[in-house]
C-alpha cells in the first residue's frame, strides 16, 4: 500500500502551474500574479490633508491654547480634487478638506476640533463665510499631513510575481491605475460519474437507482478551490459509454471520474484506463478512500491529461478530493502553500484504527476558552454523506496508532477555513 504522502507526491509531480492569461482586475480575485508590478506613480501624488481642518504654518500656531488662542485670516478653501491657488503665509490659513493637497507654505493641518469652527457655525456662518479662525491648541509640527508617496513611491516594486490576489491586492492594483492584470489561468477539470445505478437529480427516481451526488460534490469542490468544473454527466458501466464521455474530457487540464475503482465485476474504469492510458491502481494507506486510480491519457496535440479515479462512496470521493485533487488544483493555479490548514484539538471521542491506515475522521471542531475541541459526527461509514455535511474538520489518527482516546490531542484539518484556495466563479 502507498502512503498518503507517496500518493500525493506522485500526483503532484504530474502537474505544473498553468500559463498566464490577462484578466480584468476584479475577475482575477483568487488568482496568482505572473508578473512583478512596479509603480509608475507616487501614492498619494501630492502631500495632502488627513483631516478636515485648517492648513497653517506651524510657527504661526506654536504655543496656542484655550486661554491664548492664535487668530488666523482664512484666505481660501480647498476640497479634495482641487489644486491650491494661494500660498499660506504666517498669520493666514486655508480651510482644507480630507484628501485635498497641502497649499505651498503650509506644513501642518489643525483639525476643526482644535479651533472655534463649531462656535462660528453655531452663529449661522456658512463654511465660505468664515473669514477668520481661532486656533485653540498647539498640535505638533507636521500633524495631519500625509506626505507625497507615503504609501507607494514611483519605481517601487509593489507586488511580486507569485502573489495571490486578495481584495487588498486588487485594491493596490487599482490604486496604481491598472484595470487588467496577468495571472495564472484557472484549470478546467472534467468530472465523469460512472455507474449503471445512477440518475441525475431532478428526475423521479426509478426502482433500484440512486442519485448521482458525487459529480455535484466534486464539481462544487473544484469551484471552491478555484478550478473550472466541466460537468460530463454519467457514464454507464460499459466501455462504450465511458469512451464517449472520455472524448469530451480530454481537452480539460485534469480528468476526474468517480467509482469503478474497487474490485467488483463492473469496476471498469480500470479496463478503460488500461486500454487507452497509462494507469496505476493504488491502494492508499488511508480510511476512507483506500482505492484510487491515477493515470495519464493521451490528449489532443500530444498533451497528456492526468486522470484521478476517485472512489465511488460519497465520503471517500470527497476525502480523496481534499487530499489528492485539491493540491493538484492549487499547484496548477500557481499556489505555493498546498497543505490544508490544521489545528491541534482535544479529542472528545475515541478514534478506532483497526488496520494501520491513516484515518480521516469527520469531526466538529469548536473553539472554547482558547482551546480547540473535536468531536466525531457519528457513524463513520464511507456512504454516510450527511456525516460529512455535519463536519467542519477531518481529525487525523496516524497509521501506527490503533486507538486514539478522548482527552488526547489530535491534528484536525479544517475543511471550512478561509484558505488560499480562494474560489470565485471564473
Ligand atoms: P463502486 O466504486 O462503483 O463500487 O461504488 C461504490 C459505492 O458508491 C456504491 O455504493 C455506489 O452506488 C456508490 N456511488 C458510485 N457512484 C456514485 C455517485 N456518483 N453518487 C453517489 N454514490 C455513488
Ligand atoms: Mg459501481
Q: pLDDT tens digits for 109-162?
A: 999 999 999 999 999 988 889 999 999 999 999 999 999 999 999 999 999 999
Mean predicted confidence (pLDDT) in 299-321: 95
Tell me, what's the pLDDT at 425?
A: 43
C-alpha cell recorded at residue 45: 501624488
pLDDT at 420 over 60: no
Quick count: other Cβ atoms within 10 Å of Cβ 229? 20
Query: How far apart are alpha carbons 315 and 293 in whole angstroms?
Result: 16
Residues 6+ apart with CB under 8 A from 138: 61, 62, 63, 64, 65
H-helix or E-strand spanning residue 351:
strand 351-352
| Average pLDDT for 51-76 | 97
Q: Could you tell me the pLDDT band of residue 266, with boundaries at 50, 70 and 90?
A: low
Between the CA of 290 and the centroid of ligand 2 the distance, in Å, is: 15
Q: Distance between CA atoms of 86 and 74, rounded to whole angstroms?
A: 11
Q: Which of 195, 245, 265, 292 to mutate to test the pocket of ligand 1 (most atoms within 8 A of CB)?
A: 195
Quote the DSSP letter at residue 300: G
- Indicate the top mutation candidate among 310, 312, 386 to test ligand 1's pocket, ranked by most ligand atoms within 8 A of CB: 312
pLDDT at position 422 over 60:
no
CA–CA distance from 323 to each of 2, 212, 250, 320, 327 (Å)? 14, 22, 23, 5, 7
249 three-class SS: helix
61-74 residues labelled b (16+ CB within 10 A) or e (exposed): beebeeeebbebeb
Work out which ligand 1 atom sits closest to the CA atom of 291: 2
Hey, what's the cell of 207? Answer: 426502482
Q: Cis omega (within 30 of 0) on the bond before 288?
A: yes
Cβ pair 342, 395 in contact under 8 A: no
Is the whole-model pTM more than 0.85?
yes
Compute how many other C-beta atoms are within 10 angstroms of the C-beta atom of residue 347.
Answer: 22
87 C-alpha to ligand 1 centroid (Å): 79
| pLDDT confidence of residue 231 | 97
Whole-number mean pLDDT of the chain?
Answer: 94
- Asked if residue 45 has pLDDT above 80, the reply is yes
What confidence category does residue 80 fall into, taking pLDDT thresholds of 50, 70 and 90? very high
Spatial distance between the Cα atoms of 199 and 353, rounded to a whole number of angstroms: 34
5 CB contacts (<8 Å, ≥6 apart)? none
321/279: higher pLDDT:
321
Residue 19: φ, ψ to 5°: -75, 160
Cell triple for residue 336?
505555493
Which of 229, 232, 247 shows the shortest CA–CA distance to 188? 229
**Rounded distance between C-alpha atoms, residue 72 and residue 61, angstroms:** 9
Neighbours of 203 (CB within 10 A): 9
**Averaged over 161-169, what is the pLDDT?**
95
Distance in angstroms (rounded) separating the CA atoms of residues 405 and 385: 25
pLDDT band for position 426 (cuts 50, 70, 90): very low
| pLDDT band at residue 424 using 50, 70 and 90 as cut-offs | very low
The residue nearest atom 6 of ligand 1, judged by CA position, is 312
Closest among 322, 296, 307, 314 to 215, alpha carbons compared: 314
Q: With CA atoms as reference, report the closest residue to 139 among 60, 80, 47.
A: 60
pLDDT for residue 267 is more than 90: no
CA of 313 to the centre of ligand 1 (A): 5
Query: Phi first, then psi: what are they for 7, rounded to 5°?
Result: -65, -45
| Structure confidence at residue 316 (pLDDT) | 98
d(CA 95, CA 51): 11
* Closest C-alpha to ligand 1, atom 17: 312
Q: Are 52 and 96 in contact (CB under 8 A)?
A: yes
Amino acid at each position: 500500500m502507498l502512503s498518503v504522502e507517496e500518493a500525493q507526491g506522485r500526483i503532484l509531480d504530474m502537474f505544473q502551474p498553468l500559463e498566464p492569461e490577462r484578466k480584468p482586475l476584479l475577475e482575477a480575485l483568487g488568482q496568482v500574479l505572473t508578473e512583478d508590478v512596479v509603480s509608475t506613480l507616487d501614492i498619494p501624488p501630492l502631500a495632502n490633508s488627513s483631516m478636515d481642518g485648517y492648513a497653517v504654518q506651524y510657527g504661526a500656531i506654536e504655543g496656542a491654547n484655550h486661554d491664548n488662542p492664535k487668530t488666523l485670516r482664512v484666505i481660501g478653501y480647498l476640497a479634495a480634487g482641487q489644486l491650491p491657488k494661494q500660498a499660506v503665509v504666517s498669520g493666514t490659513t486655508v480651510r482644507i478638506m480630507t484628501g485635498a493637497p497641502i497649499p505651498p507654505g503650509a506644513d501642518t493641518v489643525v483639525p476643526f476640533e482644535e479651533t472655534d469652527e463649531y462656535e462660528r457655525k453655531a452663529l449661522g456662518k456658512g463654511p465660505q463665510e468664515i473669514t477668520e479662525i481661532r486656533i485653540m491648541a498647539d498640535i505638533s509640527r507636521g500633524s495631519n499631513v500625509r506626505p507625497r508617496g507615503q504609501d507607494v513611491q514611483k519605481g517601487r516594486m509593489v507586488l511580486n510575481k507569485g502573489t495571490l490576489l486578495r481584495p487588498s491586492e486588487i485594491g493596490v492594483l487599482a490604486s496604481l491605475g491598472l484595470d487588467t492584470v496577468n495571472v495564472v489561468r484557472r484549470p478546467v477539470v472534467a468530472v465523469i460519474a460512472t455507474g449503471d445505478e445512477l440518475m441525475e437529480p431532478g428526475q423521479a427516481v426509478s426502482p433500484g437507482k440512486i442519485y448521482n451526488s458525487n459529480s455535484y460534490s466534486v464539481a462544487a469542490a473544484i469551484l471552491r478551490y478555484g478550478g473550472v468544473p466541466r460537468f460530463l454527466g454519467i457514464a454507464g458501466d460499459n466501455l462504450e459509454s465511458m469512451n464517449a464521455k472520455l472524448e469530451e474530457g480530454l481537452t480539460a487540464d485534469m480528468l476526474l471520474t468517480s467509482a469503478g475503482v474497487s474490485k467488483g465485476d463492473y469496476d471498469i474504469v480500470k479496463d478503460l484506463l488500461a486500454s487507452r492510458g497509462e494507469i496505476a491502481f493504488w491502494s492508499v494507506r488511508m480510511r476512507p478512500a483506500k482505492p484510487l486510480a491515477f493515470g495519464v491519457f493521451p490528449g489532443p496535440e500530444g498533451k497528456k491529461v492526468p486522470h484521478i479515479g476517485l472512489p465511488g462512496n460519497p465520503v471517500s470521493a470527497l476525502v480523496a478530493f481534499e487530499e489528492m485533487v485539491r493540491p493538484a488544483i492549487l499547484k496548477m493555479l500557481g499556489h505555493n502553500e498546498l497543505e490544508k490548514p490544521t489545528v491541534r484539538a482535544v479529542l472528545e471521542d475515541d478514534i478506532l484504527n483497526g488496520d494501520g491506515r491513516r484515518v480521516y475522521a469527520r469531526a466538529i471542531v469548536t473553539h472554547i476558552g482558547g482551546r480547540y475541541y473535536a468531536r466525531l459526527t457519528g457513524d463513520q461509514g464511507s456512504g454516510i454523506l450527511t456525516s460529512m455535511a455535519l463536519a467542519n474538520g477531518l481529525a487525523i489518527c496516524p497509521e501506527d496508532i490503533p486507538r486514539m482516546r478522548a482527552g488526547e490531542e489530535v491534528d484536525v484539518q479544517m475543511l471550512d477555513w478561509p484558505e488560499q484556495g480562494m474560489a470565485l466563479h471564473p
